Structure 1
């Protein structure tokens, strides 16, 4: 939420309008490709779908929202979360290196990070390391992408013929939008907003550490190589295809 205080409304609107096409295309594309890839690899459909949802939208938040909608059990949720969190950790360090190697501008990198990195926290971490403009673009687009959690969860319940009506709504998106509006309409408190923004970025480091410490090597071993192989393959597909799209645009 606090990151919203560092982003102006006009910046948020511009970033969202510029990236809406690729957001929709990559969400639908990732879910469709993930569905067929999971079948091809013989991966459990619930596990595959959870990893696909996390890859398509916003990592752990998407998995948490979709899981009850498709009646996924705790073991499948844990495997999907572990897979996504491992890839998040890799992306946090690898993406800025690739961005600099390819001399990506701030806007392009921010857009790419928002599309290809799973969790919002890792998106913000990678973009923050790249630059302020990249951070603004990445955060705004990632949260616009996260809004798709609700329709995807509803469609997922239909696909899996689930009778569950439980859908977890990520309220942090609403709070983030409120923070942007408050900072835009009450500019006299700019000093306070910048302080909140700075503290929020530091707290993000703590969050990333906690996420990393929650990954159990034993759990990954028990799950076998198939979920991780599936997650890596899907992640590479969306990363390479989205970057190619952005470079050709």
Structure 2
């Protein structure tokens, strides 16, 4: 029960959608509500439209995945895929031009976030992949910035990012929550590094390990957003397990601990990069 409780209070985010009626009895859309048309586009991309909220320039989906308005309108031609159960998954777009060094910068964040970034970079670079990361003072290919947002509806966003571009570049930004409710008054470096690992994973093309059933790590309702054709893709990475993978760094919700790469994550990273 303690695991579920911590996951419920420290997930990568969720949204509560409300509706209201005008005096003439017609249903109206409050300013912060998401339209049915947008939800339909999100579902068509193979994402859970029930776990989304508005964000600057777009939408935060499945808790920590940012999609811009323009990305929602992209149409990607893809093969029909049969999605399995709980293996690691990638998007159609990956980082290309290997071997490649991806620079990472940190902008206007407390020291612990900077140190945690160095630790996340170290964890990736020790794997000996063709994709490596390098810390720079500013202007990185991935820039880590902060935002301050408290809990909403029983959930709190720890961090967010997006998926690689169609041109083969990583998503260019990770947002980390500086609100005390996210990491406490004295954030644990390894815990923050684990969240950064996860968000960088999205930037290079990883979907959530439990994208087909986020109740596995988040609790609540079971949601399967499997689509035979979708614009983003949820492509099974060969060699990863067919059963639940409790310690994967790409599970949708945090358990509040230092969750780094497990053996199956390393298989997936080596297969891709």
TM over 0.5: no
Write 1 or 2 for the structure with the bigger share of helix: 1
Q: Point out which structure has higher relative CO (alpha carbons under 8 A, 6+ apart).
A: 1
Normalised to the residue count of structure 2, the TM-score between the two structures is 0.30
Write 1 or 2 for the structure with the bigger share of strand: 2
Normalised to the residue count of structure 1, the TM-score between the two structures is 0.32
